[in-house]
Structure 1
C-alpha cells in the first residue's frame, strides 16, 4: 500500500467518520446541540474538501495508484451514507432522498467495478452531471447538519432539503447516464 499525502488525506476522511458521528451523540452538558451541529457540519465540509484535494494532489504530483483509486470512492460513499443516515435519524430530511442517493452510489460502484474487470473503467468515469450531483448533495448535507431555521435570515433546513431534492433528481439522472454508457457492454457480455 503506497503512503503519500493523497492517500493519507483519504485515510483521514475514513478516520473522521466515527469522530463525525460521536459529535452528535455527546452529552449536551459537554457540547450544546447547536455547537454539535456546527462542529459536525465543519467536519463533513472538511472531509468534502479533502475529497477534492486528494484527487487533485494525486494527479498533480503523479501519485495516483490502484489502491488510491479504490479507497477514495469508498471513503466518500461511507461518509455520505453515514451523514444521510444521521440526517434521517434526526428527522432533518426524508428517508426517500437518502435511499435514492445511497442506492445509486451502490449501483454505480458495482457498475464501475464490473467495468474495471472488463478493462473499461474509464467508460464510466465521473461525468459533469455526477459532479453537479455531488456538489448539490454536499452543500445540502452541510446545511442540514447545521440545522438552522434562521441563519442570517435564511432557513437552512428548507434550503438544504430543496438541494437534497435537486441532488436526488441529479442522482437518478446521473445513474441512468452511466447505465446508458455501459449498456453496450451489458449486451456484448450477455451475447457471449
Structure 2
C-alpha cells in the first residue's frame, strides 16, 4: 500500500466526516465542511502527483482514484441540494452527477474494446474538475440564507462547471462515436 493509494483511501474516509460535519447544528459547520472538502480536493491532486513523481501508479490506484473523486463530489452535491432546495441548484447538480455516470460507463466500455485512450482525461476535464471543486467549496463554506452574495458566486461557478461538464462530455462522446455506431463485429 503506497502513499498515493493511502491518500486516495484517506479521501474516501473523509466522506462520512463531511456528512457528519455538514449536519452539525452550529454555524461553524459551514466553514468546517468546506475545510474537509478542501482537504479531500488537495489529496486528489496530491495522490496523482505522488503516483507520477514517485512511480507509484498501481491498478488499484487507477481504479480507486476516480471512484473517490466521484463519490466525494456526488456526496457533497447531494448534501448541498438539501441546503439549496431549488431547481436552480438541482439542475447543475444533476448535470454534473449524470455526466460522471455517463462518462464512467463510456470509459469502461471503451476499455473493454481496448480503446480507453480515446476517452482519456483531458485538460478540459481537469479544468472542469477544478471549477466543480471551487463551486462546492464556496457553497459549503457559507450559509446560503446568511450570505446570498457567496451563494450567487457558488451558483455562477457551479453553472460554469456544469457547462464545462457538458462540453467535455460532448468531446468524449464524439471521440467514442465511431465505436458507438459501429455494427457488431465491425469497428472503424
Question: How many residues align structurally?
Answer: 183
- Which position in structure 2 is the counterpart of 1:58? 51
Q: Determine whether 1:170 maps to 2:134.
A: no
- Which position in structure 1 is the counterpart of 2:6? 8
Q: Determine whether 1:47 maps to 2:40.
A: yes
RMSD: 1.7
SS, match of residue 182 in structure 2? helix
The counterpart of 2:179, out of the listed 163, 185, 188, is 185
- Which position in structure 2 is the counterpart of 1:134? 129
Q: Once the two structures are superposed, what CA deviation does each residue of 1:104-155 show, in whole Å capped at 9, x if it has no partner?
A: 000000111111111221211111111121111110000000125788xx92
Q: Once the two structures are superposed, what CA deviation does each residue of 1:59-109 show, in whole Å capped at 9, x if it has no partner?
A: 111111111111000000001000001111011761111110000000000
Unaligned runs of at least 5 residues, structure 1: none
Could you tell me how far apart the structure 2 residues matched to 1:144 and 1:110 are? 28
Could you tell me how far apart the structure 1 residues matched to 2:23 and 2:164 are? 31
C-alpha displacement at 1:4, in angstroms? 0.4
Unaligned runs of at least 5 residues, structure 2: none
Trace 1:67-106 onto structure 2 (pairs within 5 A): 67-91=60-84, 94-106=89-101
Q: Is contact 1:148-1:155 (8 Å) kept?
A: no
